[in-house]
Structure 1
């Protein structure tokens, strides 16, 4: 009986002590401590509270199956190259496919679940795809204007579309001969600080200007002269690199927005590490470093986004993991098809 009374008194004293201001202060101190202590005694700095370490990127699908109808002739088919998905994943993010011909309210819902957007290469410059890509671009700008650091990476066709949207001229792009070839990137800037190249190793930047480490595959682009002559484009984009096509005509190969986290490539940073459909794609260690550094930069920008999913279950239901890529055999090695 005495032992029971003693135990009861001990519990009462413990309850009073836990509720004391001193203990509450200690709890807050531990909660705010900048050090996580692991069970083995080592200390690790806490993550930056301003960054989001579970970023998700929305990738807009492109009309067709991506391989000239070999996998699907469905009129409503659209695709994402698996290389684009792996590119994003290699930087440390997950992917939600934004299917261009799904209902607009579903597209908006998905955009509120992601921390950035990728526009892939392709050919479609009219119709529903054009309209949806333009709407997404407008939403990206609006999110940034509202204070959310929300990046956009536009590749090949994506760059051409941005040029059309910003200039409000659907004929702004010019004919270039940059099909299925690797090239150098000639830097138009003397200082990389503040650009996507700022964290690239100096030796890699030098090699990119001397060795063919950037995969090109396009028929159109925009020249430095035409961009500079267009006030809307020249005030939006800073030219980072140029490349000469097979006729020795220069086009802009990399551009970055002055006031938004928007990056545009005429080349394909995803291909070096993840596409094997052409012998022209560079696969050297340095070429793969180009892919890795580009992916790291893009996802580092996405981590700055303040967007958080309101419904984690809904997010999981939209992830690319709910879909399986199809083996194409040529062109794209694998492609995600949506019908």
Structure 2
């Protein structure tokens, strides 16, 4: 990958974003400081729980994750959903435990779980992001988090790939905002929008020598058909006012898409790439598994859970905590003989 191909386009992104924000960066929320911060700033929620939203499909034979996703509707009465096990392992890697937020369970149950968990992960996949019962549940969870943060109740949200796209649709209030890209099964670089982006939020937690490698080496797994160009993002006030772009990435046709964003005033982050796959998915040959690639997974997991430790949510009892945990369900080897998109998945009926 010759990064010079994208240099002029990247410069345009930097300049346009500066103009769009009045020439100054809105400082946004205080995020954890790993390289230059004070360890005493990190709160001590020692039993963090992360809610992971399930999505329609079974992760294997009938999977909405392998068919283009955005156009395929959920069949009437279809009630099966899944969570890829790599996301469970990912939050455990950072020192938390996972709570499944089963998208079609009663709202009362989701409310109880929301009060017990310390953050939400919107995972990757291929489920439709058109207006649907699934989308409305995700939108509801997002707004609960916004309301909590507005009350001073710190509550992070993290979106990966489809989760990144989900955040984009929710914030823009536009179900047709996504654009097609050729970025399937394609590890790629992260091109930082300004040198300061290397020292923002999540990236503070990645060692500097690896930060430098992200520009030249393909250490982040990209696996999506849809996304947003920086031009589209910046020209959409709802997105540009809410989020700041930290990185962009070229697809296989050298077309740039937004690949990392952070909210300006909320603990909400989105990545179009897959930090969890480096360590926990083995079914695709192109996934980076080098030592540096694994350090990226570990660093991002550490950041996510550091944010969750700032949340004061807690289960109402030890029994409720046990009842909510993902450990009440057994993972299925969905990747055996190449049948599924993921190595393992938790399936809920």
Q: What range describes the TM-score normalised by the shorter chain of this pair?
A: 0.7 to 0.9
Q: Distance in 1 between matches of 2:173 and 2:343?
A: 35
Question: Are positions 1:76 and 2:83 aligned together?
Answer: no
**Number of residue-to-residue matches in the alignment:** 292
Q: Distance in 1 between matches of 2:314 and 2:105?
A: 23
Question: Are positions 1:105 and 2:98 aligned together?
Answer: no
Deviation at 1:53, TM superposition (A): 1.1
Report if the CA contact (8 A) 1:51-1:305 is conserved: no
Higher relative contact order (CA 8 A, sep 6+): 2
Report if the CA contact (8 A) 1:89-1:95 is conserved: yes
**1:337 aligns to what?**
347
Q: Distance in 2 between matches of 1:287 and 1:100?
A: 31
Q: Distance in 2 between matches of 1:78 and 1:290?
A: 29
Question: Are positions 1:158 and 2:154 aligned together?
Answer: no
Q: Distance in 2 between matches of 1:59 and 1:171?
A: 25
The 5 Å alignment of 1:1-339 reads 50-69=43-62, 75-124=78-127, 125-126=129-130, 127-191=132-196, 192-328=198-334, 329=336, 330=338, 331-339=341-349
Larger C-alpha radius of gyration, 1 or 2? 1
Deviation at 1:181, TM superposition (A): 1.0
Unaligned runs of at least 5 residues, structure 1: 1-45
Normalized per residue, the structure richer in strand is: 1
In structure 2, the CA distance between the partners of 1:326 and 1:204, relative to structure 1 (3 Å rule), is: same
What is the root-mean-square deviation in Å for CA atoms of aligned residues?
1.8
Unaligned runs of at least 5 residues, structure 2: 1-38, 64-74
TM-score by length of 2: 0.81
Deviation at 1:49, TM superposition (A): 9.1
Query: SS in structure 2 opposite 1:254?
Result: strand
Q: Deviations over 1:198-252 (max 9, x none)?
A: 1211101011111111001100001111111111110111101100011110000
Give the 4+ runs in structure 1 shifted more than 3 A.
46-50
Report if the CA contact (8 A) 2:205-2:300 is conserved: no
Report if the CA contact (8 A) 1:121-1:156 is conserved: yes
Query: SS in structure 2 opposite 1:255?
Result: strand
Q: Distance in 2 between matches of 1:49 and 1:175?
A: 40
TM-score by length of 1: 0.83
